[in-house]
């Protein structure tokens, strides 16, 4: 296959050629339904052969759209023939794993799910849709448990790990599951922690979302249960050992700061790959964040069209990304406050003479 620029298509035109919206195209890449590669500018590009292959499949484009169709609580409940309350209970208990989330007008997290996975639940466990909930489910809900964030984290991390072979990128992905304190205990080298912020998932997709969306992503990505924290720590140690063996993290003054380009990354599945099975517990991961319109209203279908994607479009803010202090100017115009202070100091004891020549009263 030719590797020239004419052999690949940018994400926008590729989505149009496949009959997908951009958000649907990004989700298809994360699910492995569409294979892409990283272009010279660091953005994903699809091979023309991949587009031809997908367009030649039976049922195109409806089949591809169905694989990336997402539903919220209300529409998911309709698919299962149950009430939204029961649907929420199933999701909180871990029977359904979110594929994405968005922020409503109150900046509250609202989860969305793959339609195929919702339908698979009805075929897999029809007893959960009728009658009383099983004992284990009632106990979990009565204890106040909510497995949606945890399941979403696991899916997202597993999916991101499947998209790259670079050891430092893999370590950075796993590191997102730990808060700064836990991360510093596992990775005591500040240069390695700073390197995570440079080679994280933002190398795969470049668009950035709102500040509220990035904050929600950072908060939801942090493990909060002891067993999950322990698992993330162990996973990070494993990935970090592999990264250190491959190459050391760069230090200030190095001739070249190594990045994810040092090892080819896979953005999506290779040609001929299929999407994961619907209902797989950790086969795909993503997160979408949108905020309500300025009027605060969400129109019909907005659940399926996040305006500010934050997962595959926008990487989460690394909890340990170091920020260099701003350089101090040695020259240039002074600020307003500095000029006022200088004028006050230089003009002390001097008073402007009155136009009429009269002296001020002592």
User: pLDDT tens-digit profile of 27-42?
Assistant: 999 898 999 887 777 7
Structure tokens, 228: 């999950």
Per-residue confidence band for 218, with pLDDT thresholds at 50, 70 and 90? confident
Q: What residue has token string 């897999």?
A: 124
Residue 266 predicted with pLDDT over 80 = no
pLDDT class of 95 with cuts at 50, 70, 90: very high
173 or 292: whose pLDDT is higher? 173
In a domain, 262, yes or no: yes
Which token pair is 9?
């298509």
| pLDDT reported for residue 199 | 87
- Res 299: pLDDT: 33
Given the structure tokens 């493990």, which residue do they identify? Answer: 223
In a domain, 12, yes or no: no
Rounded to 5 degrees, what are φ and ψ at 101? -150, 160
- Determine which of 264-268, 277-281, 323-327 has the lowest per-residue pLDDT on average: 277-281
Domain limits at 116? 70-323
Q: Taking every pair of C-alpha atoms in the chain, what is the biggest distance, in angstroms?
A: 100
Mean pLDDT value across the chain: 75
pLDDT at residue 292 in the model: 40
Q: What percent of the chain has pLDDT over 90?
A: 51
Does a structural domain hold residue 20?
Answer: no
Helix axis angle, 115-124 to 73-80, nearest 10°: 40
User: What pLDDT digit, counting tens, does each position of 45-92 carry?
Assistant: 999 999 999 999 988 999 999 999 999 999 999 999 999 999 999 999
Counting beta carbons within 10 angstroms of the beta carbon of residue 262, is it exposed (0 to 12), middle (13 to 18) or buried (19 or more)?
Answer: middle
Q: What pLDDT, on the 0 to 100 scale, is given for residue 180?
A: 94
Average of per-residue pLDDT across 220-225 = 92
Residues making up the chain, counted from first to last? 362
340 domain-assigned: no
- What confidence tens digit (pLDDT) does each residue in 294-347 have? 333 333 333 333 333 334 333 333 333 333 333 434 444 444 455 555 555 555
pTM score above 0.75: no
Q: Would you say residue 76 lies in a domain?
A: yes
Give the model's pLDDT for residue 202: 58
pLDDT at position 208: 54
Residue 257 lies in a domain: yes
pLDDT of residue 118: 96
> 284 vs 256, which has greater pLDDT?
256
Q: Among 85-89, 110-114, 118-122, 346-350, whose mean pLDDT is lowest?
A: 346-350
Confidence of residue 200 (pLDDT cuts 50, 70, 90): confident
Tell me which of 111 and 211 has the higher pLDDT.
111
> pLDDT-derived band of residue 97, with 50, 70 and 90 as boundaries?
very high
pLDDT at 307: 35
Residue 129 or residue 298, greater confidence: 129
Task: For residue 25, tell me if it sits in a domain.
Answer: no
pLDDT of amino acid 38: 79
Cβ contacts of 188 within 8 Å, gap of 6 or more: none
38, 265 in Cβ contact below 8 A? Answer: yes
pLDDT at 328: 38
Say yes or no to pLDDT of 162 above 80. yes
Number of helices (H) and strands (E) in the chain: give both, helices first: 15, 6
Domains contained in the chain, number = 1
**Helix, strand, coil tally for the chain in percent (to 5):** 45, 5, 45
Q: Is 10 exposed, middle or buried (0-12, 13-18, 19+ CB in 10 A)?
A: middle
- 245 membership: H or E segment, kind and range: helix 226-246
| Residue 176: Cβ within 10 Å count | 27
Q: Residue 361 pLDDT more than 70?
A: no
Strand partners, 45: 10, 37
With contact defined as beta carbons under 8 Å apart, do 176 and 204 qualify?
Answer: no
d(C-alpha 151, C-alpha 153), whole Å: 5
Report yes or no on 85 lying in a domain: yes
């Amino acid at each position: 296959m030719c590797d020239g620029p004419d052999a690949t298509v940018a994400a926008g035109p590729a989505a149009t050629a496949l009959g997908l919206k951009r958000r649907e195209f990004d989700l298809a890449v994360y699910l492995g339904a569409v294979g892409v590669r990283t272009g010279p500018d660091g953005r994903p590009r699809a091979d023309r052969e991949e587009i031809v292959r997908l367009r030649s499949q039976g049922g195109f484009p409806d089949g591809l759209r169905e694989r990336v169709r997402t539903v919220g609580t209300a529409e998911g409940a309709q698919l299962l023939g149950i009430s939204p309350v029961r649907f929420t209970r199933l999701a909180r208990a871990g029977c359904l794993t979110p594929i994405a989330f968005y922020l409503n007008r109150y900046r509250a997290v609202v989860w969305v799910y793959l339609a195929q996975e919702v339908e698979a639940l009805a075929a897999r466990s029809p007893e959960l849709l009728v009658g009383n909930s099983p004992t284990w489910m009632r106990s979990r809900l009565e204890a106040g448990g909510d497995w949606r964030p945890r399941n979403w984290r696991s899916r997202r991390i597993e999916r991101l790990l499947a998209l790259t072979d670079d050891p430092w990128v893999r370590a950075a992905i796993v590191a997102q599951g730990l808060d700064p304190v836990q991360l510093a205990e596992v990775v005591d080298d500040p240069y390695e922690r700073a390197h995570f912020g440079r080679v994280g998932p933002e190398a795969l997709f470049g668009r950035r979302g709102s500040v509220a969306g990035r904050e929600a992503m950072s908060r939801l990505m942090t493990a909060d249960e002891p067993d999950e924290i322990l698992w993330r720590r162990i996973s990070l140690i494993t990935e970090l050992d592999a990264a250190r063996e491959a190459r050391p993290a760069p230090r200030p003054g190095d001739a070249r700061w190594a990045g994810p380009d040092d090892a080819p990354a896979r953005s999506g599945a290779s040609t001929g790959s299929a999407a994961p099975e619907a209902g797989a517990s950790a086969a795909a991961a993503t997160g979408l964040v949108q905020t309500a319109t300025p009027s605060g209203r969400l129109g019909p279908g907005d659940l399926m069209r996040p305006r500010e994607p934050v997962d595959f479009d926008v990487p989460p803010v690394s909890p340990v990304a170091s920020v260099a202090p701003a350089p101090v100017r040695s020259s240039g115009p002074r600020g307003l406050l500095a000029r006022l202070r200088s004028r006050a100091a230089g003009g002390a004891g001097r008073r402007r003479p009155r136009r009429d020549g009269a002296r001020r009263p002592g």
